[in-house]
Structure 1
Amino acid sequence: MMPHIITLTSTRKRCFVILLAILIPCTIFNFVSFPDMREETNLQNGIAELQAKLEHLHAKYISSQEEINLLSHQLAENSHILPDLQFLIGNGTSNISSIKLPSIYNFLPHFLDDPNSLRPAFVQSKGRSGVSMVLGVPTVKREVQSYLLATLKNLLDRMTPAETTDTLIIVMVAETDLEYVTYVAKQIEVQFPKESESGIIEVISPSSSYYPDLTKIRDTLGDDHQRVVWRSKQNLDFAFLMSYAQTKGTFYIQLEDDILAKKNFITTMKSFALQKISMKEHWFVLDFCQLGFIGKMFKCSELPWLVQFFLMFYNDKPVDWLLDHLISTKMCNLDKDSKHCKMAKARLWLHYKPSLFQHIGTHSSLKGKVQKLKDKQFGKITLYYGHDNPDATVETHIKPYKQYTLQKAYKGESFFWGLLPQPGDHLRFKFTQPIFIKRYLFRSGNAEHPSDRFYNTTVEVMPENQRYVNKNSVNVTEDGYVIIGRFDAMGIAQGTVDRKYGKISVLRLTVHSESDNWAILSEIYIVEDEPS
């Protein structure tokens, strides 16, 4: 098969030369006619992007050639059953003296037990591909609280419309319980209908036969067996996710399901990557977060290096250590000291500052592990939003945690953090003087505790003049409050108050069901309307 590879390589070079022949005169013309360095930078980035996409196409070609090669060998081995096949495939593939290279089956032979072990057991996809940025978000069932939906919302909120059209988010539910996988996929579909329909978000899960018997793997590094199983499975999860993602786009970014991102992070990462390519810096990983494996960017064409390495040594060390060892193997000279090794590795592992991602999860997916690590380079996280609200007396029977009282939240000095709301609990805002309310906004949960929201909670008002209230309406409570809204699944309640109710003397929130979590109000915003 070597002639085909050589032909492609030379074809690729010719294509690139032709591109340069077309683009370089344009560069010179633009530089002479328009001495705006931004245009030259944009052109250089354009060439770098073309180069990265050519490498991606070449990797896809190699993958397809591998499949053809394997099929040819299989046909050759069975040519005695169909003799005419011998004529079609030629004599080259039937050479009995050819060697067979080791494959991943040598390291994970259980893959041979089930032909579907390397196929996703679940795929929710619109088939999006050819994008620049592929974000990999692995998630597992967490015993305490899930951060996944909040993480996806944050990622989407931090992208511009142009960025979303050039991005694919792959959520890998690393569980073999298909009922749970389907439940998570449905949650994502309901919470992000537009993104699911357009194909921005995909959901996959591995087959149960993908994993070896994890109870029988050997203990390493002196860790207890539970931890060894956890980190070994994580290595296998990452390898599966990367294998699925490698044909989908140009760059792959490894994320987690409990993070925050900075605004325009997609453009920042892509520009940094293209800048390094245009400067002929042959990087292997671009690092946009200092913690673990979060925010690590790779070229999709080079993901096979990682996948093979992770699968070979999945039982030996954590995933971030394996990445470090791979870079060390590529760059470090055993004849030199550690300082020389560190400098050599820095040529392949480039760091971007300040960090674009922050880890927010407190409860690890490893049972009993509390994860408090934060990336100090990310900067301060906004935990509440303060507003100048109308004068009011506020009260609630929900017990506050420490100093996080409802009074301080209403004044915009902090957020309210209440312990386990119960059915029938109220948060009441009684205005000093009745007012017309133009609109209201209540935001529950915050960046560090996204699941501490108000669930099944209504927004109600008490008009100053009761003659505006229809006592027989289904939207009126027994004590005369009019229900005007409720908190949605993301923990937000917002809307307007119809002026037909006149001035409002009290606004209150009413909890209708028991909550497994505490509840945070990170924003209270009541806008007073002018009298007509």
Structure 2
Amino acid sequence: MSSEKLVAYQREFHALRERLRVAEHRTLQRSSELNAILEQFRRAIAETNGSKDALSNFSDETQKLLKELAHRKPLQVPNIYHHLPHLLNNEGSLHPAVQVGQGRTGAGRDYVPCSCLSYCVTCLLSTGCHRPVQCVRAKAAASSPEWRQRPFVTPSHTRSRPIRFSLEESSPPGFSKGYGEDSSSIGISMVMGIPTVKRKVKSYLSETLHSLIDKLSAEEKLDCVIIVFVGETDVDYVNSVVAGLEKEFYTELNSGLLEVISPPASYYPDFSNLKETFGDSKERVKWRTKQNLDYSFLMMYAVNKGVYYVQLEDDIVAKPNYFATMKNFALQLATEDWMILEFSQLGFIGKMFQAPDLNLIVEFIFMFYKEKPIDWLLDHILWVKVCNPEKDAKHCERQKSSLRIRFRPSLFQHVGLHSSLAGKIQKLTDKDFLKPLLHKIHVNPPAEVSTSLKVYQGHTLEKTYMGEDFFWAITPMAGDYVLFKFDRPVNIERFLFRSGNQEHPGDKIENTTVEILPFSDTELNTKEKYKRTEDRFYKLAQFEKGVAEGTVEPAFNPVVAVRLTVQKDSAVWAIISEVCLLPLL
């Protein structure tokens, strides 16, 4: 198991433990309340003394209590039907009309051969079906009352599961309803959602999927799922999209890497009475309103599937190593209270959310889906969470930046020229996309970092260790150091330090040693092999051509600190672009 997965599991375990603690606290509260009511009933029964005319024998206080209990009604909290009342007209409104794929996060599947997929789409959307028996079973399962009573049963290729979304109860902090109920969902790190609709000029969906899939390693393909949401209710069009994807991405559909869903027509409200706002035409208001609902459906479907959810579009290309970069960046920020990680500066492309936050986001979108576009609504969520109305706009932006963290350079580029809004040409490009990634991210053990070097333009050592930036320092001198002091002793297997980067390849580190401080060296017999400093550090390696790497002998573990020490004055500045301290598993 890789160190990244181990750290992820540890953090997920701690989060689960916190959720269980909150649930236990609530259970104790409810138990106490129920015991109090039970005791009141016991006293009331005792007052009857076995009399048949029990009610008349109750004291006034007891009769008042019984009436209160009998007529007590809970407060009516708004739910999804409050915001979308048209959904009440069709109980299947929150069932995907089409659901193609293995349902990777589930435990047990009803297998349907891929050759049947396009037929099954027609079966689910139409009233009659004369195709193979698997499709008939799929349609029957999707439409039966028994199926509708089993929310979030593992989907098969075509089974339509209901999307569960309720605002009727509050959830423990950091926990969203339905999240984590699938016992195997912890095995998937990331869900990528791609909404697509019919474009009159050109579809970019195939190119987008190839860009995303081709840049995944074999291991990464097992650690994520890509969901294509076809936001159309035209049976023939949806069928053609599925048939095309089945032909081009047969392997990915069968492996569970790729899924395709489409909503029923009853999910959408009547768009004819929308108000024109912000100077937008009626057609544009309808387009952005439907887009909000599309995003919401996709998020509701994805909430149970993984740890992180990344919103993408159907007309983008991705950079190499995009998956590992996003995952490691998120893991490094696991202790931070972030809400959005941005891997592109354009619109709603490359926006990462933690899965438990999706219900909050969907709830907010449903409340205002007719008023504003999605990116504005997201900004309003941040404003509500952290902005003080008595402070100025600059203060608000600083506060929001703690919840919305931008990663540079961008990992995704917008390539679509023809918008999904008919007649709209959009020449949007992300200028940051062309910039090279000047540092590499690793999930390192928690540590306090310090240095005697003079930092240049905010390229701090802390950011480098967290994988957010490269470290840049003015000319190192003999005796200067870079220190990584672990929060607790760590067993280290390997280390790697890389200096310089593509923009400044000459700013490399030379004449510098890598040193470690063992937790205890009473039994070490390494004096002949490794030199020791006066402060008990052992010299393990030296930078050669700007790189220092090696292994740590088991006898040294656990390690308290790792240090880089400059032995001779340097004639150039120094950049550290990669820090990897790999724990021993």
> Taking structure 1 as the reference length, what is the TM-score of the superposition?
0.56
Match of 1:276 in 2: 333
1:140 and 2:197 matched: yes
Would you say the 8 A contact 1:55–1:301 is kept in 2?
no
Shift of 1:94: 7.4
Q: Does 1:206 align with 2:279?
A: no
Contact 1:220–1:315 (8 Å) recurs in 2: no
Cα 1:60–1:167 shift into 2, 3 Å: farther
- Offset, 1:45: 5.0
1:255 aligns with 2:218: no
Letter in 1 for 2:392: D
Secondary structure, counterpart of 2:391 in structure 1? coil
Q: What is the aligned partner in structure 2 of residue 504 from structure 1?
A: none
Letter in 2 for 1:157: D
The residue aligned with 1:327 is 382
Matching residue within 128, 132, 141 for 2:104: 128
- Amino acid aligned to 1:324: D
Gaps of 5+ in 1: 1-37, 62-90, 382-532
Cα pair distance change 1:372/1:50, threshold 3 Å: farther
Contact 1:49 1:274 in 2 (8 A): no
Return the alpha-carbon distance in structure 2 between the equivalents of residues 145 and 58 of structure 1.
52
* SS at structure 2 position matched to 1:367: coil
Q: Which residue of 2 aligns with 1:316?
A: 371
- Residues in 2 aligned to 1:360 and 1:56: alpha-carbon distance in whole angstroms: 42
Q: Indicate how the Cα distance of structure 1 residues 370 and 244 shifts in structure 2: closer, same or farther if over 3 A, else same.
A: same
Please, which moves more after superposition, 50-59 or 282-291? 50-59
1:313-360 deviation per Cα after TM superposition (whole angstroms, max 9, x unaligned): 111111111101111111100010111100100111011111100000
Amino acid of the residue matched to residue 309 of structure 2?
Y
Percentage identity across paired residues of the two chains: 50
Residue deviations 1:248-306, cap 9 Å, x none?
111100000000011121111111111101xx211011110000000000011110011
In structure 2, the partner of 1:3 is none
Q: CA–CA distance in 1 between the matches of 2:81 and 2:218?
A: 43
Alignment of 1:337-348 (within 5 A): 337-348=392-403
Q: What 5-or-longer segments of structure 2 have no aligned partner? A: 25-66, 106-184, 437-585
Of residues 402, 407, 420, the one that matches 1:365 is 420
Query: Deviations 1:10-42 (Å, cap 9, x if unpaired)?
Result: xxxxxxxxxxxxxxxxxxxxxxxxxxxx97x88
Q: Structure 1 residues 92 and 259, CA, compared in 2 at 3 Å: closer, same or farther?
A: farther
Distance 1:57 1:109, change over 3 A: farther
SS in structure 1 at match of 2:338 = coil
Q: Deviations over 1:230-260 (max 9, x none)?
A: 0000000000000000011111000000000
Output aligned runs, 1:151-162, within 5 Å: 151-162=208-219
Contact map agreement 1:56 1:250 (CA 8 A) in 2: no
| Equivalent of residue 293 in structure 2, options 195, 214, 236 | 236
Instruction: Kindly indicate whether the alpha-carbon contact (under 8 Å) linking 1:59 and 1:301 is maintained by their aligned counterparts in 2.
Output: no
Query: Is 1:48 aligned to 2:24, yes or no?
Result: no
- Structure 2: how far apart are the matches of 1:45 and 1:200? 20
Distance 1:112 1:185 in 2: 29
SS in 2 for 1:127: coil
User: Of 64, 67, 82, which residue of structure 2 is paired with 1:106?
Assistant: 82
Partner Cα separation in structure 1 for residue 20 and residue 238 of structure 2: 32
Contact persistence 1:45–1:271 (CA under 8 A): no
Partner Cα distance (1:225, 1:201) in 2: 35
Question: Displacement, 1:204?
Answer: 0.3
**Which amino acid is the alignment partner of residue 48 of structure 1?**
R
- Partners of 2:409 and 2:435 within 8 A in 1: no
CA shift, 1:96, in A, is 3.8
| TM-align CA RMSD | 2.6
Aligned length: 312
2:250 corresponds to 1:193: yes
Q: What does the per-residue CA deviation read over 1:459-518, in whole Å, with 9 as the maximum and x for residues that have no partner?
A: xxxxxxxxxxxxxxxxxxxxxxxxxxxxxxxxxxxxxxxxxxxxxxxxxxxxxxxxxxxx
Counterpart-to-counterpart distance in 1, 2:19 and 2:316: 28
Q: 2:407 aligns with which of 352, 362, 366?
A: 352
SS of 2:317's equivalent?
strand
Q: How far does the alpha carbon of each residue in 1:114-149 deviate from its partner, in whole angstroms, 9 at most, with x for none?
A: 111111111112111221100000000000000001
How far did residue 222 of structure 1 move? 2.0
Report the alpha carbon displacement of residue 380 of structure 1 after superposing the two structures with TM.
6.9
Q: Using the alignment, how far apart are the partners of 2:297 and 2:386 within structure 1? A: 26
Residue by residue, what CA displacement relative to the aligned partner does 1:409-428 show, whole Å, maximum 9, x if unpaired?
Answer: xxxxxxxxxxxxxxxxxxxx
Q: Please give the alpha-carbon distance, in whole angstroms, between the structure 2 residues aligned to 1:97 and 1:47.
A: 42
The partner residue of 1:116 within 76, 89, 92 is 92
